Structure 1
Amino acid sequence: MLKKVTPKPSSMKNSDCLTSAIAIMQYTGVWLPDNLEYRWRVMYMALRFVTQIVMFYFIILAEIGYVFKYRHDTERMVDAAVLLLSHLVQAVKVMTIVLRQPRIKRLIALGDGPEFTHTDPKLKAIIERAVKMTSLVSNVILCSASITGLFWCMVPALQDKVTLPLRTAYPFDISGTYIFTVMYVYSSVSVITVGVADAAENFLVSGVLILAATQVDLLNVLLMDIEGGKAESYEKAVLCIKFHQQILKYVEEIANIFNFPIFCQCVVTSAIVCMTIYKISVTQEPVELVTMIFYLLCVFTELLMYCYPADILLNKSLQTADAAIPIWSGNIKTAKALQMTVLRAQKPLTINAGGMFRISLPTAAAVVQTSYTYYTLLQQSLKK
């Protein structure tokens, strides 16, 4: 006789959508694992030194050296600056995550805490669907970054004159066969490691923004489920008010932690897109053309990883007032309790990059428009 198996409750956490990104950051020395013993902590610091100082910051210095060496050659400077600018912005992200990691971990713990965990089947279904979709997108982005890095490393090897994958200048001669091979492998490993790590660092921000937008969506569902004429409507309204306050704190902390890296990303992306389009327009190598197209798509994806979730958060937060206003026709006590929530919801939840501008899809469009302006100026400069 078959025994009846009772299904286990879902153990999915809201932060499961960040699992792949956090794992990549751990392997690349950016994200310090919890509860490490002293010797393992020392070993992890050694790993961080190799992956960040040796594989990343030394490359940035070499790229700066190349730009300085060919500062009078506009075309070579453009060629080198494509990745240099990306690496400089990534350095800002890495320092932000390393220095503010305790705050980021508390933010993730808050997202997994009882304030944002729901037992209602309808609400659980919404959050689980969002987490699964976000996890899928995370894996696709990380795979795309890996493919782009591989293509970038293959291009120089397929040309008539083999060069390093990166435009770098070193204070020693690398023309010898053995030293050139070592530097080629070093540059290739750096490109792939740093590229995938950059995608993971971007998705950390994107993931917490998506979770915030999903919680706002759940708040709107809870508000619409309140029936003003019923006795328990006031208790439900109070719970919604407390939930709304937690969401406000969550979004405010996201903005406080990540506003400067987001600002740097949006500002520098204009120049990166401009120079990438220029390289696509002048290249004669099919493999390099495919590589630059992949890279351009990654840059656009990187920008949208900030702007799209922030735009969803903005629009869903504006719906909160609409979800609460119908209750005013019922219980007066309930309506008064929700009055401050409705007034607060008139101001959307936004992420202001560096306190300068609001992150949203129109921001992404403005960045692309600025990139086209830069591209036009660059073409005119090179023609002269």
Structure 2
Amino acid sequence: MHVVKTKDRSTLPKHIWHDGVKWLLVVVKIILDSLSVWAERQNKFTFFLSTIVVMSYLYILTGQINFIFDKQIDLSDAADGIAGAIVVVETVSRRVLSIVLAKKITNILSTIYYDFWPSNINGPEMNKLLTRRSWIVLTAVGIYTTSALFWATQSLTVPLQLHASPLRSKFTFPDLDSPYYEMVYVWQGVLCAEIAINICGFDLFFISIIWTCVAQFILLREYIRQNFIKAAKSGIIRSREKTEAWNLMLKCIKHHCVLIQTTKNIEAILTVFILMLYIGTIGTVCLSGFLLTVVRKEVGRPLTYFCGHMGQIFMYCFIGHELIRESMALSDAIFECGWHLSAYEKDLQKSLVMVMLRAQRPITITLGGFGVLSLDSYMKVVDYFIEGKINICFVVDKVLFFRIHTFELHDD
């Protein structure tokens, strides 16, 4: 596979702007480039800026831990602090991921730019269909992005009324006294906005590159259905002792191999990240559910925690399920392509059988090797909540027991 690297990485290739699927990367680049985390623009300055931001989050995280285990903090504030700490860890992991895996992500983007087929390869109708689905993906991510922005707004307004910090934390200096409080409030307020944009921007990025792979499987399937019968009927036309049907299938096999390798590279990057996201989402949803149903002290932020994270994990599971479904649908497309018209080409038929066998093994994004990203995984989470298998009260009781036990040992 030949990877072409752009000389000027400040701009995307022009053909992407007109592609029915790849244009999503334009939106993603604008968002992530504004945060200096776009993989193709990583340099010494962005590394320095990301280091400052990560160090700020780590310092806030220490303050959040002190807040959670403070014996003067009640149960609801401790649960809110744990949820906020999980969100901070998610943001830090995305920043670190953009630095550590910048080269690998850049190679994946180069493959998408130049090796993936254009969305209009099968005609304008397929291009329109993929464009509409791309808008659906963008709209779906935008819906739970509003929850993240609403959370950022609530994190600024509610703590100001209570004279508290936007991200529940406690530092060694008197952070609730003026002028320290005003400085901490502005500092954490800016980071709250960065958290919302960072998390949703990275989600749109990862979902977009998986969606481009899904779209390529759709294009490959339709390309075989539209062109193989015509190529098989013109079998008498030979080029270098190979028929037109053979050349067409060779082109499709090469593209299928590119898709398999690209999805493997994406899965290698995302597998641990998705597992952390999955665990963090379950923990945050549990805490927000506890605050909404048991404590009922505040509604705004716990509700946005719940809706935002459930929407977030649903989009990942949905796009992972589509990748499984479309990768396996290629087998049916080959069986229905008209292979019987090339009955005398044994090598071609053997190749078709091999592609069918490979297509029957679904291409998946795993949860760190513990599961598969699909709608079945999402429904298991929903079933756990419905059946009461995830008991947040048990988790909070363990945290409180640890806090009380720690303070008793400290007093002794």
Q: TM-score band, normalised by the shorter chain?
A: 0.7 to 0.9
Q: Which residue of 2 aligns with 1:147?
A: 150
Q: Which residue of 1 aligns with 2:8?
A: none
Q: Which residue of 2 aligns with 1:378?
A: 394
Q: Which residue of 2 aligns with 1:100?
A: 101
CA contact (8 A) 1:157 1:163 kept: yes
Aligned-partner residue type, residue 149 of structure 2? S
Larger mean CA deviation between 78-87 and 314-323 belongs to 78-87
Counterpart Cα distance in 2 of 1:346 and 1:81? 43
Choose the corresponding residue for 1:348, options 352, 362, 367. Answer: 362
Q: Which residue of 2 aligns with 1:5?
A: none
1:306 aligns with 2:311: no
How far did residue 263 of structure 1 move? 0.9
Counterpart Cα distance in 2 of 1:212 and 1:253? 12
1:218 aligns with 2:219: yes
Alpha-carbon deviations, 1:254-299, whole Å to 9, x = none? 10111100011112222211111111124556xx413322221110
1:12 aligns with 2:5: no
Counterpart Cα distance in 1 of 2:392 and 2:169? 27
Within-5 A mapping of 1:30-179 = 30-31=37-38, 34=41, 41-54=43-56, 56-70=57-71, 74-117=75-118, 119-122=121-124, 123-158=126-161, 161-179=162-180
1:200 aligns with 2:195: no
SS of 1:59's equivalent?
A: helix
Structure 1 residues 58 and 138: alpha-carbon distance in aligned structure 2, compared to 1, 3 A threshold: same
CA contact (8 A) 1:18 1:204 kept: yes
Show structure 2 runs of 5+ residues with no match. Answer: 1-13, 236-243, 402-412
CA contact (8 A) 2:16 2:113 kept: no
Aligned-partner residue type, residue 20 of structure 1? V
Aligned-partner residue type, residue 252 of structure 1? K
Larger mean CA deviation between 275-284 and 262-271 belongs to 275-284
1:238 aligns with 2:250: yes
Counterpart Cα distance in 2 of 1:101 and 1:9? 23
How far did residue 304 of structure 1 move? 1.6
Structure 1 residues 150 and 343: alpha-carbon distance in aligned structure 2, compared to 1, 3 A threshold: same
Larger mean CA deviation between 293-302 and 371-380 belongs to 371-380
Structure 1 residues 97 and 370: alpha-carbon distance in aligned structure 2, compared to 1, 3 A threshold: farther
Q: Which residue of 2 aligns with 1:324?
A: 334
Counterpart Cα distance in 1 of 2:202 and 2:23? 15
1:369 aligns with 2:383: yes
Counterpart Cα distance in 1 of 2:114 and 2:15? 17
How far did residue 380 of structure 1 move? 9.4
Structure 1 residues 197 and 367: alpha-carbon distance in aligned structure 2, compared to 1, 3 A threshold: same
SS of 1:373's equivalent?
A: coil
Within-5 A mapping of 1:236-315 = 236-284=248-296, 288-315=298-325
SS of 1:116's equivalent?
A: coil
Structure 1 residues 28 and 53: alpha-carbon distance in aligned structure 2, compared to 1, 3 A threshold: farther
Counterpart Cα distance in 2 of 1:177 and 1:11? 50
SS of 1:320's equivalent?
A: helix
Counterpart Cα distance in 2 of 1:352 and 1:252? 10
Counterpart Cα distance in 1 of 2:283 and 2:396? 15
CA contact (8 A) 2:221 2:330 kept: yes
Structure 1 residues 328 and 220: alpha-carbon distance in aligned structure 2, compared to 1, 3 A threshold: same
Structure 1 residues 336 and 359: alpha-carbon distance in aligned structure 2, compared to 1, 3 A threshold: same
How far did residue 57 of structure 1 move? 2.3
Counterpart Cα distance in 2 of 1:201 and 1:244? 27
Q: Which residue of 2 aligns with 1:3?
A: none
- TM-score, reference length from structure 1: 0.85
Counterpart Cα distance in 1 of 2:149 and 2:76? 27
Counterpart Cα distance in 2 of 1:15 and 1:171? 48
Counterpart Cα distance in 1 of 2:61 and 2:307? 23
Alpha-carbon deviations, 1:152-179, whole Å to 9, x = none? 2212234xx4222222110111232321
Larger mean CA deviation between 332-341 and 215-224 belongs to 332-341
Structure 1 residues 266 and 106: alpha-carbon distance in aligned structure 2, compared to 1, 3 A threshold: same
Structure 1 residues 316 and 42: alpha-carbon distance in aligned structure 2, compared to 1, 3 A threshold: closer
Alpha-carbon deviations, 1:86-145, whole Å to 9, x = none? 322332332222100111111011111144335442454444444444444454444442
How far did residue 197 of structure 1 move? 0.4
CA contact (8 A) 1:28 1:52 kept: no
Structure 1 residues 18 and 121: alpha-carbon distance in aligned structure 2, compared to 1, 3 A threshold: same
Counterpart Cα distance in 1 of 2:367 and 2:392? 26
Show structure 1 runs of 5+ residues with no match. Answer: 1-7
CA contact (8 A) 1:127 1:214 kept: yes
- TM-score, reference length from structure 2: 0.80
Cα RMSD over matched residues? 2.9
Counterpart Cα distance in 2 of 1:71 and 1:107? 50
Equivalent pairs, count: 367
Structure 1 residues 185 and 242: alpha-carbon distance in aligned structure 2, compared to 1, 3 A threshold: same
Q: Taking every aligned residue pair, what percent have the same amino acid on both sides?
A: 18
Counterpart Cα distance in 2 of 1:42 and 1:249? 30
Alpha-carbon deviations, 1:164-216, whole Å to 9, x = none? 22221101112323211221222222112112201111222111111111111
Counterpart Cα distance in 1 of 2:331 and 2:53? 48
Structure 1 residues 187 and 124: alpha-carbon distance in aligned structure 2, compared to 1, 3 A threshold: same
Q: Which residue of 2 aligns with 1:4?
A: none
